[in-house]
Amino acid sequence: MKIGIPRALLYYYYHPLWKTFFEKLGFEVVTSGKTTKELIDKGIKASVPEICVPIKIFNGHVLELLEAGVDYIFIPRMMSTRKGEFYCPKFMGLPDMVRYSIPGAKDKILFPKVTSLTDDISDFKIYSEMGETLGVSNKQIKAALLDGQKAWIEFRRITKEGYTALEVLDYVETGKKPQNPIKDYRVTIGLMGYVYDVYDEFVSMGIVDKLREMGVLVETFEMMDENLLDAELSDMNKRLFWTFSNKLLAAGYKFFKDGHIDGIIHVTAFGCGPDSLIGKIMELDSNEFGKPFMTIRVDEHTGENHLLTRIEAFIDMIYREKVKVKKEA
């Protein structure tokens, strides 16, 4: 049996867990390819116009998997991974959106409900309901989840050493150790953005690599320890409702306060409701903290040259300021 996993949304955070889980159960895992212009165009046609870009992209990946002839596509209903916080409503409704808007998808979606108190979502209760459909026993599910959990914990451990999700996903896939993160750098940037925006190379146009080529050390929220992010949030008067938005905001404030971070770039996709709030909060507070902050909003039509020019100008401005301050000291 072939299980499809779309290379989109939380693929960039949970793929080692899900892939290991299904493979240990004896299934073939088919991951959709990288996002392309054609895939986005297909996704746009299958989506309501007002939905955010990452969901349109996700739909394109689902279509690709259906065309590849998989038996099922895994689209968990992501509800909550923190007490009192929830996923953005689009995640909660995603299985329904796909089942009722994409022809041929209705009976091919596996959509367990994910509710957990931590980011570790390898709890048996979440996945047990799929046993009957997949023809596997509870014992097999438990054993496969143990292996999946191990793979995910290792993925998160290495990411926290300063590697990008893409580098570590590649490591988990191929066993090829990632290179050491950049050593000689002139500027350090805190990069804020959901993993599916930052690491989908079509959406962010490979922003991490572009920054590294400019001599920039990049730090992201998923390179940080969850406890550190939680501690940052506990200082805030009010948290947001959405888990990943809170992670971004916590990372943003950490970047504001950390002396070694020279500036912050926020990558956001067109049509994202939670991000419009985060962007505004960060923009207002950047003045208070006196730290350069820039938002890059991408949509399906954003041009690479435009993006590059803006990043180069931002990095250049920060570098000149650094040199000036050093001379004056």
Binding site for ligand SF4 (CB under 6 A): 52, 54-55, 88, 90-91, 194, 269, 272-275
Q: How far is the CB of 9 from ligand SF4 (least distance, A)?
A: 7
- Pick 52 or 207: Cβ nearer ligand SF4: 52
- Pick 26 or 89: Cβ nearer ligand SF4: 89
Q: Among candidates 277, 289, 268, 272, which has minimal Cα distance to 240?
A: 277
Q: Apex CA 115: angle with CA 150 and CA 5, to 5°?
A: 60
Q: How far is the CB of 274 from ligand SF4 (least distance, A)?
A: 5
- Pick 60 or 148: Cβ nearer ligand SF4: 60
- Pick 93 or 215: Cβ nearer ligand SF4: 93
- Pick 97 or 189: Cβ nearer ligand SF4: 97
Q: How far is the CB of 129 from ligand SF4 (least distance, A)?
A: 24
Q: How far is the CB of 297 from ligand SF4 (least distance, A)?
A: 11
Q: How far is the CB of 170 from ligand SF4 (least distance, A)?
A: 24
- Pick 52 or 144: Cβ nearer ligand SF4: 52
Those residues whose C-beta lies under 8 Å from the C-beta of residue 250, and which sit 6 or more positions away, are 221, 228, 229, 230, 232, 233
- Pick 187 or 207: Cβ nearer ligand SF4: 207
Q: How far is the CB of 47 from ligand SF4 (least distance, A)?
A: 11
Q: How far is the CB of 54 from ligand SF4 (least distance, A)?
A: 4
